[in-house]
């Protein structure tokens, strides 16, 4: 069941090797546009961070096909437990750049109400894109629990959980994989093997011949996929989801891809990434590869790509302007949402902050009365 053969669909010339994606023209173009949006979002956030307007971002360059190909196989009633490098999954399903930008600025309209670092998105509509935390792998067993709830209620839904090669070393990967296989939970595990866990190369992460092969010991299929091939990613996901919806349990997909940028805006990858490696992978750029496929279907020209990238940059620049102009969350948001109702001791602390503001002056405390 575990295939060590790399699944790929799009040939170097853009044709497909006999596999039909089943995507309409509009759907193919939506995939493409989403990848451009991810790239434009990245480029914008890098500039925003370098100019000190946001504190942090995570580059997605190189892994766009993994994100969009996988997301394209999901229904809106499925759930995503994402990693922090999955912007394309959110964008594909219609979460707007503006909503994401509110999070990057941590403002009053941010779903997380400015409580988290940038990139730690949380969305419930139009798809469940579950609130991201920073510890690695904790979301993996959670995804299995959500899938178990779907199974218990006899729903036809499934869960995608996504993590990097580093995530496979975490406690959560082991417990999540094991629980899912034992419970036959409708869950797909997507390991985006992008070669690096911050500065730790895959060769120092595992002694396994692949990540996909780890599935065998858990008793589930493991599939090795060319992660820079959007249609191969989609096919692997569709197969895994069909199996999950049928009640046959989980699948591990290893997407072989490459992180073309740093781990984050705080990271300088030139300190540890061999230059030749980046040059080699640049030739396998997932966006260019999909462009060749679209061109083979006469759906793409260089001008179209430039036009759409320009439109994406304009849209995201407008989103950044709006998010930057949106005020920060109100002071009382420190104290709300800890519990469903504010307990005595937290209320007292909130009141003290506002009382001090009244005595010593602090405009952000409004009229000086704790409003909760």
Partner 1 sequence: MATLTLVQAVNDALKTAMRTDQSVVVFGEDVGPKGGVFLATDGLTKEFGKTRCFDTPLSEDGIVGAGIGMALNGLKPVCEIQFQDFIFPAFDQIVSEAAKFRYRSGGQYTCPMVIRTPYGGGIRGGLYHSQSGEAYFCHTPGLKVVIPSTPHDAKGLLLASIDDPDPVLFLEPKALYRQLKGEVPEGKYTVPLSTLRTVREGKGVTVFCYGAMVPVCMKAAEQAAEKGIECLVVDLRTLLPLDEEGVLDAAKQTGRVVVVHEAPRFCGFGGEISALIAENAIEYMEAPIARVTGFDTPFPNTLEHHYMPDARRVLDAIEHVHNF
Reported as half-sphere exposure (CB side, CA atoms, 13 A), residue 7 has a value of: 22
Phi, psi (rounded to 5 degrees) for 110: -65, 135
Candidate list 50, 75, 246, 272, residue with the active-site label: 272
Tell me how far, at minimum, the Cβ of 331 lies from partner 1, in Å: 15
Residue from the set 346, 358, 366, 372 that interacts with partner 1 by CB under 8 A:
346
219 binds partner 1 (CB under 8 A): no
116 binds partner 1 (CB under 8 A): yes
Contact of 63 with 259, CB cutoff 8 Å? yes
Q: Alpha-carbon distance 195 to 151, whole Å?
A: 34
End-to-end CA distance of the chain: 56
Binders in 25-64 for partner 1, by CB under 8 A: none
12 binds partner 1 (CB under 8 A): no
Q: Alpha-carbon distance 176 to 180, whole Å?
A: 6
277 binds partner 1 (CB under 8 A): no
Residue 256's H or E segment, with its range, is strand 251-256
Tell me how far, at minimum, the Cβ of 144 lies from partner 1, in Å: 5
Residue 80's SS3 state is strand
Binders in 167-196 for partner 1, by CB under 8 A: 171-172, 174-176, 178-179, 182
96 binds partner 1 (CB under 8 A): no
CA torsion through residues 56, 61, 65, 66, sign? negative
Site string for partner 1, 138-157 (x = CB under 8 A): x-xxxxxxxxxxx-xx----
95 binds partner 1 (CB under 8 A): no
Candidate list 85, 93, 113, 259, residue with the active-site label: 259
For residues 43-64, one letter each, b for 16 or more C-beta atoms within 10 angstroms of the residue's C-beta and e for the rest, the string is bbbbebbeeeebeebbbbbbbb
120 binds partner 1 (CB under 8 A): yes
Reported as half-sphere exposure (CB side, CA atoms, 13 A), residue 185 has a value of: 28
What amino acid positions are annotated as catalytic residues? 259, 263, 272
Residues within the interface to partner 1 (CB under 8 A): 79, 81, 110-113, 115-116, 120, 122-124, 130-131, 133, 135, 138, 140-150, 152-153, 171-172, 174-176, 178-179, 182, 337-340, 343-346, 348
């Amino acid at each position: 069941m575990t295939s060590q053969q790399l699944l790929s669909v799009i040939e170097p010339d853009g044709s497909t090797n006999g596999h039909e994606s089943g995507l309409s023209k509009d759907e193919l173009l939506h995939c493409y546009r989403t990848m451009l949006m991810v790239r434009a979002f990245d480029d914008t956030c890098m500039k925003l961070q370098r100019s000190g307007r946001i504190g942090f971002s995570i580059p997605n360059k190189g892994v766009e096909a993994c994100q969009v190909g996988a997301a394209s196989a999901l229904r809106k009633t499925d759930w995503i437990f994402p990693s922090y490098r999955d912007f394309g999954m959110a964008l594909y399903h219609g979460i707007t750049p503006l909503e994401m930008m509110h999070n990057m600025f941590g403002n009053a309209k941010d779903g997380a109400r400015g409580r988290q670092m940038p990139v730690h998105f949380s969305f419930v509509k139009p798809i469940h894109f579950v609130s991201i935390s920073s510890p690695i792998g904790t979301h993996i067993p959670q995804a299995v629990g959500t899938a178990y709830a779907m199974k218990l209620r006899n729903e036809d839904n499934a869960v995608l959980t996504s993590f990097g090669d580093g995530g496979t070393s975490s406690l959560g990967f082991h417990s999540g994989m094991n629980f899912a296989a034992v419970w036959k939970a409708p869950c797909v595990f997507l390991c985006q093997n992008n070669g690096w866990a911050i500065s730790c190369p895959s060769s120092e992460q595992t002694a396994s011949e692949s990540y996909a092969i780890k599935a065998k010991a858990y008793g589930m299929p493991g599939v090795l996929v060319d992660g820079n091939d959007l249609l191969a990613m989609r096919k692997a996901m569709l197969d895994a989801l069909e199996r999950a919806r049928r009640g046959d349990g989980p699948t591990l997909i290893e997407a072989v891809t490459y992180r073309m940028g740093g781990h984050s805006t705080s990271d300088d990858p030139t300190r540890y990434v061999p230059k030749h490696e980046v040059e080699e992978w640049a030739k396998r750029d997932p966006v260019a590869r999909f462009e060749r496929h679209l061109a083979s279907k006469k759906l793409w020209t260089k001008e179209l790509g430039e036009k759409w990238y320009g439109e994406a940059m304009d849209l995201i620049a407008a989103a950044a302007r709006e998010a930057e102009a949106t005020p920060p969350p109100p002071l009382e948001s420190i104290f709300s949402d800890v519990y469903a109702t504010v307990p005595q001791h937290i209320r007292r602390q909130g009141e003290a902050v506002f009382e001090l503001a009244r005595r010593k002056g602090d405009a952000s405390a409004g009229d000086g009365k704790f409003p909760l």
